[in-house]
A and B are shown apart, each in its own frame.
Chain A
Amino acid sequence: MPIYVEVTYDMSKQLGSHRLEMEGSTVREVVEAVRARFADDPAMFETLTARTAVAVNGVLVRFRDRQETKLSDGDTLGFVKAAAGG
């Protein structure tokens, strides 16, 4: 089973979909795979992911092992923006 990647709305405009399927055993590997999709415009990746955090199954990876957080098949890795509303 793959890793499901959910990107922000703005990222999805560039990638054509907000939900991608990727391979990888750590957060670092999968984030790099997403970055590779922006190979034509690496700066765009930086811009779009500024002020976003990465979560695995809803838990921010900074509360796990950050970039080294291990992934299992079927996990969802999400790029999450801070927000406020109500």
Chain B
Amino acid sequence: MIKGYAGRVLEVDLGAQRYSFEPLDEQTARLYIGGKGYGTRLLYDRTEAGVDPLGPENPLIFATGPLNGSVAPQSNRFAVVTKSPLTGGIGNATCGGSFALGMKKAGIDILVVSGRSERPLRIEVDGDASHVEFLDAADLWGKGTYETQELLGKKKNHAVIGPAGENEVLFAGIVSNERIAGRTGVGAVMGSKKLKAVSVWGSRNLEMEDEAKFKEYTKEVRATFKDHPVLGESMKRFGTAGILNTANGRNILPTRNFKKGRFDDAMKISGEWMEEHDLKGVKTSCIHCPVTCGRDVEVEGKGRVKGPEYETLALLGSNLEIGSVEQISEWNYHADDLGMDTISLGATLGFAMELGERGMLDTKLHFGDPAGVTELIQDIAHRRGAGSDLADGSRRLSEKLGGREFAPHVKGLELSAYDPRGSFAQGVEYATTNRGGCHVQGASMYLESIGPLTINPQNLKLKADIPIVQQNLACAINSMVLCIFTTYGIVPKAVHEMDPGSWKYRALAGALENSGSLFRLAQSIKGSPMFWFEKWLTLITGQKFSSGHLQEIGARIFNLERMFNLREGLTAADDTLPDRILNEPTFPGMDSGHPLGQLLPAYYKKRGWGADGVPTKRTLEKLQVTI
């Protein structure tokens, strides 16, 4: 077995209450690494077109990669892959917490859960004894994710759902510790299987090709991170919320259901504000991660709890015109405990508010007014009354009540917190990303509106190239499985320290913006490892990884996801953005919205797809994507 892998896939059939340990397929691991890549390959091979996402035939795949179980910073994450009940296409999400470490300690790379139980069930996996116990979970059913994990005990590593997953809320997530695999409704799939929790433990250690060098090199990387302006400074001080004022200043902070990109009270929900007014005690981190981007805040009646991330502050804050960290923290706490994705939740609430404002939905909700939201969040999770309609997400709500042109989703997945009208590459990424309107499948905005070295985000230069490189890289990162924030370290400290007004800075940004085809060419070189994640992979597995290798593997995963979506009936027509984003300007002097129509043909061509958005036979062969 290749080093870095435990070498085992655990297959669990909930209906028959049977399990088996199977060998990991080395060839698949070489082609897809692990995590999201390996999981997507399994999903594609094991499902028929049209599989019911909430039916027993849809497998729920928990997948780790070769970096998991090591002490590399940002490396304790697992991926969940399944068919999404929210989008009808590929579903996946990644999560921190302790579950990934638990799986690797148990000697399991991949856990495939299939079938469905008739009654609430939980499973316990003793990796050392290679034994799985099927246990009744009626006593836990209905309980929140925090209480459930408390009752299950701290000695084991858990992945659990809350009431939202149990009630098949289409944007329910799976929780490990206080982190959530939030997007695409993976928690609803777990709920449909009546699986409340998976607990796993073991005592195996990760085998590496060159452990001594790995340890020595990791020390160096930790020192680099410590000294890095983002990973060592701003994320430590402000968490992900450090981005909020920048997004507002660049006019891309979703406000009033994506009607505007600027919120008057943005400062009051920013990372800086939180640091001064709301932060309580120690900041939290994922295992082995020195970045500590988690924030603790106080919620009345609940004590010290996990504070909101940037996405939550934007979607439950500016998007609803709520300028209070205390209020958002309370909703965030409920969403985590109920087991729901705060991005889809906030975007769906914003959509409902606009529907109400236009007289299309009978609701007392109003922008800028928190009244009724706490109760509605509970109603959504329990599918009570109007909450049940919102539990199906903004696309289905718009199909039922109208308002398709301002429903904030792509392929059914609600948009995350970067308005693409001020970030054109991000718009192309939203439109083409296989799981839908999500930013962590590429984070193109980092190179055009948020990061330290940005190009003009509102012309056509590189806007079809950046998403390709970023999506490929994200596919690879999510297959290792690493935290996507590791990519923020790619831009060196020296660039962060440049004055944006200086000629040197302008020259560098100009060179990047005008690099044309060189931009992608430079990434495709299969040379030596350049970045820490490439070197870690090389030292752990003994195989050679470089930027070019990761681009190739990432493109393979991305195209396989694309083929899955096409098999499920999605077409090029689904590669779009909400009408509001395409047609309504948010900047003075802007004639229209995002120029997606001008960029998509170039994107398809550069991807090696036909004008119909279908990967050509040659592209699939070149990437060794078998279908």
Contact = CB atoms under 8 A, between A and B. Distances in A.
Contact of A86 (B261, B273, B309): B309
A10 B239 CA distance: 17
B310 A51 contact: no
B439 A58 contact: no
A75 B251 CA distance: 13
A55 interface: yes
Interface in A62-76: 62-63, 66, 75-76
Interface in A1-42: 6, 8-10, 12, 18
Nearest to A12: B267
Contacts of B311: 86
A82 B451 contact: yes
A11 B243 CA distance: 17
Contact of B422 (A58, A78, A83): A58
B240 A52 contact: no
Interface string B556-595: 0000000000000000000000000000000110000000
B452 interface: yes
B450 interface: yes
Contact of B450 (A6, A10, A82): A82
Given A82-B451, A82-B496, A86-B310, A57 B246 contact: no
Interface stretch (B134-142, B498-506, B525-533): B498-506
Contact residues on B (Cβ < 8 Å of other chain), bracket = 35 or more
Contact residues on A (Cβ < 8 Å of other chain), bracket = 20 to 34
A86 B246 contact: no
Contacts of B293: 85
A77 B390 CA distance: 38
B446 interface: yes
A84 B249 contact: no
B252 A86 contact: no
A55 B249 contact: yes
A62 B509 CA distance: 10
Interface of B: 230, 234-235, 238-246, 249-252, 261-262, 267, 270-273, 293, 309-311, 422, 439-440, 443, 446, 450-454, 456, 458, 484-485, 488, 496-501, 506, 509, 587-588
Given A51-B452, A54-B501, A58-B251, 11 more contacts: A9-B245, A51-B498, A53-B501, A58-B249, A58-B422, A59-B587, A79-B249, A82-B496, A83-B246, A84-B243, A86-B243
